[in-house]
Structure 1
Amino acid sequence: MSTLFDSEVPAATTAAGPPALRILGLDLSIGATGICLADGRTLTVKPKAKGDARLNEIRGHIGASITATGEPVELVVMEDVPSTMQGAAGKVIPMLHGTVRAMLLDIGLPYVVIAPATLKAYATGKGNADKTAMAMAAYKRAEIEFGDDNQCDAWWLRAAGLDWYGQPEFTLPQAQRERLTKAVWPAEVTR
């Protein structure tokens, strides 16, 4: 399996190349979870349920997203719980992460967790980049715009996974790509 630093990394998938790795990007939030499907489309899940029932509603949307493009995804890349979380969000977001991770473990789907600062540094070169900088970096690299910052982060998470496994959709400076070494990636993703 190709990784970020292989010397013979294939370019982005072409008609003659291997099919792109099917990666789902998740920016988990109890109020508005960003999802980037395996084909690059993005959406935001805003639960209608109240209290802990939101956990099941979000899990259900993520479960449906795993097969939304026709074939199941092979890897999920999600943003980690911010270390600065406090108050009610500091309690609920870890519960959401536990719910989603347990589901992925139950179905045998590997996942990678990327720290928020690592994702920002990968996308923009700065670990403290704000939401606007993330969106501008996506527009600069792929001329894409999003409905909200949750979708933007989910899209960058999918892009990071594709890049790590040798299928980048665009070029980034090597220093930014090297930020991905901070995550723990599965040695191989089975197809």
Structure 2
Amino acid sequence: MTAPRILGLDLSITATGLCLPDGSTETIATQQKTGDARLKVIELAIIQATHDVDFAVIEDLPTHAKSAGVTGMVHGVARLVLLRFGIPYSVVTPATLKAYATGKGNADKTAMAIAALKRAGREFGDDNQCDAWWLRAVGLDWYGHAELDMPKAQRDRLSKVDWPPLSTGVTA
């Protein structure tokens, strides 16, 4: 059984976190002075990251920010890239991601980092990389290739996500 190659995306106009299918993480930092040209930087980084990707997991906008302009634009760019390359994706709410990682839907960034350190011995350069790593972890878990031993109650939170079937050629 081959594990799906999952890309985790924690989208932000200033610092987008990526977790590549091999589990490595990076942050795509942009500068405010470049204005909307930052979207092109993010687009190119996501295009490069989609090489040999079967699926992507994106952290959704917080409920109170669904109409937020700038972050919404980043989501549009990321989804357009994934659609262009035929990569299916799911969108995970911040509360669901936090509950999966820590057991609490209102966990802060420190709690997310501590959970990664305790469960996987992982440390990250910033919270964007940490969130992207957790996004990849939820996708692997949902499709039957969990890299972590998570409590059932935390795993059950993933049923709230709309998970499409994986592409052909990947067995879950």
Aligned to 1:45: 28
* Paired residues for 1:10-159 under 5 Å: 18-48=1-31, 50-67=34-51, 72-85=52-65, 90-159=68-137
Structure 2 gaps, min length 5: none
Q: Answer yes or no: is the 8 Å Cα contact 1:74–1:190 preserved in 2.
A: no
2:7 aligned partner, one-letter code: L
1:58 aligned partner, one-letter code: I
Q: C-alpha separation between the residues in 2 aligned to 1:156 and 1:32?
A: 16
Partner of residue 185 from structure 1, selected from 139, 163, 169: 163
Cα RMSD (Å): 1.5
Q: Answer yes or no: is the 8 Å Cα contact 2:88–2:166 preserved in 1.
A: no
Q: Answer yes or no: is the 8 Å Cα contact 2:12–2:71 preserved in 1.
A: yes
TM value normalised by structure 2: 0.93
Aligned to 1:15: none
Give deviations 1:94-118, integer Å, cap 9, x for gaps: 0110111112112111011000000
Cα shift at 1:84: 2.5
Cα shift at 1:130: 0.3
Structure 1 gaps, min length 5: 1-17
Q: C-alpha separation between the residues in 1 aligned to 2:162 and 2:105?
A: 18
Higher helix share: 2
Cα shift at 1:91: 1.1
2:55 aligned partner, one-letter code: L
Q: C-alpha separation between the residues in 2 aligned to 1:137 and 1:168?
A: 15
Total equivalences in the alignment: 168
Percentage identity across paired residues of the two chains: 59
Q: C-alpha separation between the residues in 1 aligned to 2:150 and 2:78?
A: 30
List structure 1 segments (4+ residues) > 3 angstroms apart after TM superposition.
none
